[in-house]
Structure formats: C-alpha cells, structure tokens
Chains A and B, each alone.
Chain A
Amino acid sequence: DAKTTQPPSMDCAEGRAANLPCNHSTISGNEYVYWYRQIHSQGPQYIIHGLKNNETNEMASLIITEDRKSSTLILPHATLRDTAVYYCIVRPPYGGSQGNLIFGKGTKLSVKP
C-alpha cells in the first residue's frame, strides 16, 4: 500500500498557483518525498523531490513541514497543460526493492480557464 494520502481531485484556475497536499505521517528519517505527474495516457513524469528542506526547480516548489509528516507541491502559475494526475511518493534513496516506487491513486488536478 502507498504510504501517502492525497485528495482524489482538485481544481485550479489558470494562472493561479496550484497547491497539492500530501500526508505521509509514517515517513522514516531517510525517506525522500518524490512527486511525479501523469498527463492523460502518457508515462509518468518526474517533477521534484526533497528530504527535509524546501526545494524549487523550473517546474515546481516542494514545501515539507518541519516534522516531515506532510508536504505541498506548488505549481506557481498553473496552465491548462498542467492538468494531470499528481502522485506523491515516499521512498528511501537506496536501490533495489527498498527504493522502488509505490504509486497510490494520486490527485487529479484540473486546471480550468
């Protein structure tokens, strides 16, 4: 079973920030928070990951609470092309079976004009 909890769906107005929450209350000290998204029928796309510090890249920002039990993915200016299912996944950094991704059902983000 996935170790994260996400809302099944969210709406966002085009041009506004999209804030996608994720709960991971049982996260272990060495586990990272990863975010992927899947645009309709395509392969999942890596977005960002972090351990405990906030992270930012060209696609998004990741805010992790101090206790690391939850996080928020922020798309600063959502566009219609950001409509997708977003997956929050926790995993240790190691290879092998320990580091395999476990996908839940994710959050279906709909960006509306």
Chain B
Amino acid sequence: NAGVTQTPKFRVLKTGQSMTLLCAQDMNHEYMYWYRQDPGMGLRLIHYSVGEGTTAKGEVPDGYNVSRLKKQNFLLGLESAAPSQTSVYFCASSYVQGAYSYEQYFGPGTRLTVT
C-alpha cells in the first residue's frame, strides 16, 4: 500500500514551457487535492476534486489546470510556466462517507523550479 505518490520528484522548467504533475493514490479515496507551498509559508490549495470526472478551484487556481479521469489519479498541468510558479507541490487525498470527509493523506511533494 503506497498511499499517495507523486511524479516527478524534481523538475526544472524554462519560462513558457509546459508540464504535467501526476498524483496517484491506492486508498480508493474519493477526494483529491493539489497544494503549493512557498518558502516559509503554509500550504495553499490550488484545485481539488470530489470524485472522478469532477474538479473545482481552490484558493490559487490561476495558471493551473487539472483533470481527474480516473479515481486514483489527479493531474496538475502548467500550460505556460512562470517563475512565480516555482514552488513545492503537494497532492493529497481523503476518504468520504456520505456528506463527511476525513483526514487528508499527503504525498511526498514535487519540487519545481521555473527559470
């Protein structure tokens, strides 16, 4: 049981390049989340998904797109990377029962540098 995994672990992009970050979970969780964390700050929510085929905006969605084609995977895309998107990106998932969601489980993070 690997929990939440993220690919890649590190990436360096040039301004204007695009890339996709992959998050996978094997806990059959309904909810998945993408966060970013800048130095000395707490995590901020980018986008989240309450189920396969659904996505919603979080606190800082601009410049990012997401897709949840399969329940176990949540993809975060950067269409045209900017230096302001240099950050550590964390994915998380949580179990849901009825209207209630439970604690989130986080992946190890992807460190992205945009030059």
- Taking Cβ atoms with an 8 Å cutoff, the residues of A that contact B are 2, 34, 41-46, 49, 87, 93-97, 99-106
State whether A100 and B42 are in contact (beta carbons under 8 Å apart), knowing that A93-B100, A94-B100 are contacts in the complex: no
- Given A43-B4, A94-B99, A105-B41, 10 other A-B residues pairs in contact with their CB atoms under 8 A: A34-B103, A41-B88, A93-B100, A95-B30, A95-B101, A97-B56, A102-B45, A103-B35, A105-B42, A106-B42
Task: Check B108 for interface membership: any CB of A closer than 8 A.
Answer: yes
CA distance A46 to B100 in the complex (A): 17
Across-interface contacts of A95 in B (CB, < 8 A): 30-31, 50, 96, 99-101
Q: Among B99, B100, B108, point to the contact of A43 (Cβ < 8 A).
A: B108
CA distance A56 to B24 in the complex (A): 30
Nearest neighbor of B96 in chain A, beta-carbon distance: A95
Size of chain B's interface in residues, with CB distance under 8 A? 29
Across-interface contacts of A102 in B (CB, < 8 A): 45
- In the complex, are the beta carbons of B31 and A43 less than 8 A apart? no
- Taking Cβ atoms with an 8 Å cutoff, the residues of B that contact A are 4, 30-31, 33, 35, 40-45, 48, 50, 56, 58, 88, 90, 92, 96, 99-101, 103-109
- In the complex, are the beta carbons of A46 and B104 less than 8 A apart? yes
Across-interface contacts of B103 in A (CB, < 8 A): 34, 46, 49
Q: Which 10 A-B pairs have the closest CB atoms?
A: A103-B42, A43-B106, A95-B101, A46-B103, A103-B43, A93-B100, A99-B101, A44-B106, A43-B90, A95-B96
Nearest neighbor of A105 in chain B, beta-carbon distance: B42
Across-interface contacts of B30 in A (CB, < 8 A): 95
- In the complex, are the beta carbons of A41 and B109 less than 8 A apart? yes
- In the complex, are the beta carbons of B104 and A101 less than 8 A apart? yes
Nearest neighbor of A42 in chain B, beta-carbon distance: B108
CA distance A101 to B96 in the complex (A): 15
- In the complex, are the beta carbons of A42 and B104 less than 8 A apart? no
CB A62 to nearest CB in B, in angstroms, measures 13
CB A31 to nearest CB in B, in angstroms, measures 13
CA distance A90 to B106 in the complex (A): 18
Q: Among B33, B44, B105, B107, point to the contact of A46 (Cβ < 8 A).
A: B105
- In the complex, are the beta carbons of A43 and B107 less than 8 A apart? yes
